[in-house]
Homo-oligomer: A and B are copies of this chain.
Amino acid sequence: MRQAGRYLPEYNATRKRAGDFLSLCKNPELACEVTLQPIDRFGFDAAILFSDILTIPDALGLGLYFEQGEGPKFQRRIENDSDISGLGRIDPTVELRYVADAVSTIKRALNQRVPLIGFSGSPWTLACYMINGGGSSDDFLGVRKWMYSRPDALQQLLEKLSVAVADYLIMQIEAGADAVMVFDSWGGFLPEAHFERFSQKHIKIIVDRVHAASISIRQRQGQTDGQPTPVIVFVKGGGQWLESIAATGAQAVGLDWTTHLGQARSRVGSRCALQGNLDPATLLGAPPHIEAEVARTLESFGPVSAGAGHIFNLGHGISQFTPPENVSCLVEAVANYSKKLR
């Protein structure tokens, strides 16, 4: 999840210099600056590329923008078949060059301190925004309608997006990302019967392509272990479909705060590590509650083992109203308690 954000005064200062959120994403030097701020302040174990999950539809010409206090919006929506067939194949090294530049700038600045995680939205989640033109207050009902009225057109869109997302993540790895994460923020709105067809299948294609490409990229970069770059898949609201999510081949699966970590572990076994899953609202609470929730989360996972590790994380994005000192309290509690427990 995004580490930098409006809860940090130093972030707000840099963002002011950039002008707005999207200009900040598109400025490699400033994106690097805000990526490193939470690492400097809190000493996290990994850095998260500062960017947005919707850079691909923006590069495809839909015109991403953010209105004051609102979520992301697009100037143009996908409304029909010809909108879909009109979408070209982007070359991310051209149209999304600013992301590759941000990754390499951050890697240089990190200087091996901690690994860097890149990311993208999943095809289904990108399609939700592209068809709806922005967020939704009705679980993307209008996008779900496509499954029952024009499923072939929807599949065509998802296939195009799968290609773009894989190209994009491979570019991030070329530029230096040590792991990449796929955010299926709206996967949990899919009906159980159609999650695999409209989301999981496309994520699996991406994981396969990223794995294959990353083995040769890593070899060229001098890493001779023959291992692919780790991919983390997060499906918000996907707790009922963990087995299917693990079957994408991702090395780690992210969990939101509605799933029991220990039960998740017994379901996916040693197929993948698990990442999560503290309720972000915890960080709006009082320190004793933060400590208790950290202990509960670590205990619910239990002892770590090979192939079934635990990456402590929030179950969703951090709130802009989070007091930074609560994040310090969290980091300290995780470090102390996991040392004791593990």
Residues of A within 8 A of B (CB): 71, 135, 137-139, 141-142, 144-145, 147-149, 151, 188-193, 237, 239-240, 257-260, 279-282, 284-286, 289-290, 293, 296, 300, 315-316, 319
In the bound complex, how far is the Cα of B192 from the Cα of A279, in angstroms? 10
- In the complex, which of the residues B71, B141, B188 contacts A137, with contact meaning CB atoms closer than 8 Å? B71
Quote the shortest CB–CB distance from A245 to chain B (angstroms): 13
Is the beta-carbon distance between B141 and A284 smaller than 8 angstroms? Answer: yes
Top 6 closest pairs, chain A to chain B, by CB: A148-B285, A144-B281, A148-B289, A145-B284, A191-B257, A149-B285
Which residues in B have their C-beta under 8 angstroms from that of A139? 316
A192 with B285, Cβ < 8 A, contacts A137-B137, A237-B237, A280-B141 known: no
Quote the shortest CB–CB distance from A129 to chain B (angstroms): 14
- In the complex, which of the residues B191, B290, B300 contacts A279, with contact meaning CB atoms closer than 8 Å? B191
In the bound complex, how far is the Cα of B139 from the Cα of A290, in angstroms? 19
In the bound complex, how far is the Cα of B151 from the Cα of A239, in angstroms? 26
In the bound complex, how far is the Cα of B319 from the Cα of A315, in angstroms? 30
- In the complex, which of the residues B145, B192, B279, B300 contacts A144, with contact meaning CB atoms closer than 8 Å? B279
In the bound complex, how far is the Cα of B319 from the Cα of A135, in angstroms? 18
Quote the shortest CB–CB distance from A152 to chain B (angstroms): 12
In the bound complex, how far is the Cα of B138 from the Cα of A52, in angstroms? 18
In the bound complex, how far is the Cα of B280 from the Cα of A239, in angstroms? 21
Quote the shortest CB–CB distance from A65 to chain B (angstroms): 18
